[in-house]
Amino acid sequence: MAQKKEGKILGMERDTFRSLMGKYGVSIVMLVLIVVIGIMQPLFLKPSNLINVATQITINGMLAFGMCMAITTGGIDLTVGAQIALGGVMFGICTVKGGMPVVVGVLATVAVTTLFGFINGFLIAKFNMFPFVVTLSMQLVIRGVSLVISGGQGIQMGNDVGNIYYTNVFGMIPLPIIIYLVVFILMYLMFHWTKLGRYILAVGGNPNAALASGVSVFRIKIYAYAISGFLAGIASIILVAKTGNAKANIGEGYETDAVAACVIGGTSFAGGIATMPGVVIGTFIVGFIYNGINMVGIDGNYQSIIRGLVIILTVMMDMAINGKNRK
């Protein structure tokens, strides 16, 4: 019997096609999304709208980078939504009630959220508890702390805080985009060019092998969650700068979008597989879906359904193409 020939796709050998799709598949999804929304509503493609989207996604973008760290070590960080509330309230108390300079407020906020990230990591690494359970419980604690320290009251932020969101650099690029870009570059270098990044990938890929290769699994897990807390702190500052108001109930459900961005961007829930550019593209796809739904004029009530379905479809497509390269 003759050997079955592998079919060609778009004139390429199947293998070449596979590896190309593996690398750029999600980018293609993003382009298709842009084109489709653009055809349905040309205003979507206006530079001002695109810049607007890019500014808005920076908040979820920060969370997604952090979430990616947690997922890559084989866990998850469900506290990021609550961390936004804690960070926002903390920032408000420092700058408004305490009258501190914005810079000091930023440092204090980030220090507190990083501390809570550290606690998450410590509980997970030290007692070998399930990250899902630890962070699910810790988000209650964190939101509770923000309720207590704010007394449940909203804090009206000053104009100097609003400047963080509404300042344009070079007269056209909003400051959050610059911050996002800087964080992306740092995260990229950390994740792909330093041993910390390699260790995070190894711990998630195979904790035993990592340990037997001299990696301190304990420390790496703590670092991963502390980074997630740190980035949630930055995200909280951008959010309250945007809304001008900090309250203990902000940031609810934000962890979902962060997880979605990671997963769309090729982060494996089994741990050990992720790329930073992937997370950025995942974040943009989530952002385009939000914005697109509004622009095209779909009833807002459908948003949630569409978001959920798009995530499932993207992941299914990714598995169909890359299933063999992943676990």
Partner 1 sequence: MRNKDEYIFECEGIYKAFGGTQALADVELHVKKGEVIALLGENGAGKSTLMKAVIGLHQPDAGTMTFEGKPYSARGPVEAMHAGISMIHQELNPEPHLTIAESIFLKRESTKGIFLDKKAQNKRAQEILDRFGFKHPATTMMRNLTLAQMQMVEIIKAVSCDAKMIIMDEPTSSLDSEETDHLFATIRDLKSKGVSIIYISHRMDEIFEICDSVAVFRDGTYVGARSMDGVTRDELISMMVGRQVKNVFPKTECEIGDVVFKVEGLTGQGFEDISFEVRAGEILGLTGLVGSGRSETMRAIFGLDPLKSGEMWLNGEKITIKSPKDAIKKGVCMVNEDRKDFGLCLFRSLRENISLPNLPARQKGILINQNREKKECEEYAKLLTVKAASIEHNAYSLSGGNQQKVVIAKWIMAGPKLLILDEPTRGVDVGAKSEIHTLMCQFAAKGMAIIMISSELPEVMGMSDRILIYHEGKLNGEVSREEVLSGAATQETILAKEFGGK
Interacting residue ranges for partner 1, rule: CB under 8 A = 1-4, 6, 13-15, 18, 189, 193-195, 198, 201-202, 205-206, 208-216, 268, 272-273, 324-327
Q: Are 118 and 142 in contact (CB under 8 A)?
A: no
Distance CA 241, CA 88 (A): 9
- Specify the residue, 166 or 269, whose C-beta has the smaller distance to partner 1: 269
CB of 102 to partner 1, least distance (A): 29
Strand-pairing partners, residue 30, are none
Distance CA 219, CA 78 (A): 20
SS3 for 103-142 is HHHHHHHHHHHHHHHHHHHHHHHHHCCCHHHHHHHHHHHH
- Specify the residue, 9 or 313, whose C-beta has the smaller distance to partner 1: 9
Measure Cα distances from 221 to 69, 178, 187, 246 in Å: 9, 29, 16, 30
- Angle between helix axes 217-243 and 175-193 (nearest 10 degrees) is 170
CB of 80 to partner 1, least distance (A): 26
- Specify the residue, 187 or 295, whose C-beta has the smaller distance to partner 1: 187
Neighbours of 191 (CB within 10 A): 22
- Specify the residue, 25 or 88, whose C-beta has the smaller distance to partner 1: 25
CB of 125 to partner 1, least distance (A): 14
CB of 322 to partner 1, least distance (A): 11
- Specify the residue, 15 or 299, whose C-beta has the smaller distance to partner 1: 15
**Count of H helices and E strands in the chain?**
13, 4
CB of 276 to partner 1, least distance (A): 15
CB of 9 to partner 1, least distance (A): 13
CB of 279 to partner 1, least distance (A): 18
- Specify the residue, 3 or 159, whose C-beta has the smaller distance to partner 1: 3
CB of 273 to partner 1, least distance (A): 6
Residue type, 198: R
Backbone angles phi, psi at 298, to 5 degrees: -75, 140
Task: For residue 54, give both structure tokens.
Answer: 């890019």
Q: Are 252 and 239 in contact (CB under 8 A)?
A: no
- Specify the residue, 74 or 174, whose C-beta has the smaller distance to partner 1: 74
- Specify the residue, 52 or 216, whose C-beta has the smaller distance to partner 1: 216
Residue type, 308: G
Q: Give DSSP secondary structure letters for 147-179.
A: HHHHTT--EEPPHHHHHHHHPEETTTEEHHHHH
